[in-house]
Amino acid sequence: MIKQPTSLGCFLCGKNNPKGLHLHWTEDREKKEVICETVISEDYRSYPNIVHGGIVAALLDETSGRATMIENGYDALMVTLKLEVVYKKVTPTNTPLKLIGRIKRGGASKAIVEGEIVLPDGSVSAACTAIIMKPPQTLFAGWDEEADEWKNTSPKV
């Protein structure tokens, strides 16, 4: 398993974001999947003991999109054009969750990816399919501090 790089300020993975989730993903290159194991606290709930649906969507968006880094490298960042989330059951807080992302149809400039949140019993609480694309280069203006976090990071085990 290879650990993927993180950013500084991202809500999900940003190591310097005091309000962030500080998540980490690893790559299973054999399966062509990215995986994150986490527990989401009550701070990110909607109703008691239930992860907010917007947080669920954010988890799936980030996880599915990261799958393209396996084929395209860590500096080939993409943005989401369309995200479809299916909420199959509630995603509980304070419970071990396994986030899995994979490529459905790859590409360097556009891809279709999918993700799921797996509960301890093996059932899936939510799943997504997303269309993501390489953004215009102008979007990266002013990202110099973040670029070092992504581009100069070699894969870690």
State the Cα–Cα distance between residues 17 and 50, nearest whole angstrom: 23
Q: Break the chain into its structural domains and give their ranges.
A: 2-137
Question: Do the bridges between strand 33-39 and strand 26-28 make them parallel or antiparallel, or are there none, so unpaired?
Answer: antiparallel
Q: What is the pTM of this model?
A: 0.90
Domain range 2-137, CATH architecture: Roll (3.10)
pLDDT tens for residues 107-116? Answer: 889 999 999 9
pLDDT tens for residues 9-31? Answer: 899 999 899 999 999 999 999 99
Q: How confident is the model at residue 148 (pLDDT cuts 50, 70, 90)?
A: low
Indicate whether 35 pLDDT > 90. yes
State the Cα–Cα distance between residues 51 and 27, nearest whole angstrom: 25
CB 54 within 8 A of CB 7: no
pLDDT tens for residues 133-144? Answer: 998 888 777 766
Q: Residue 7's pLDDT is what?
A: 85
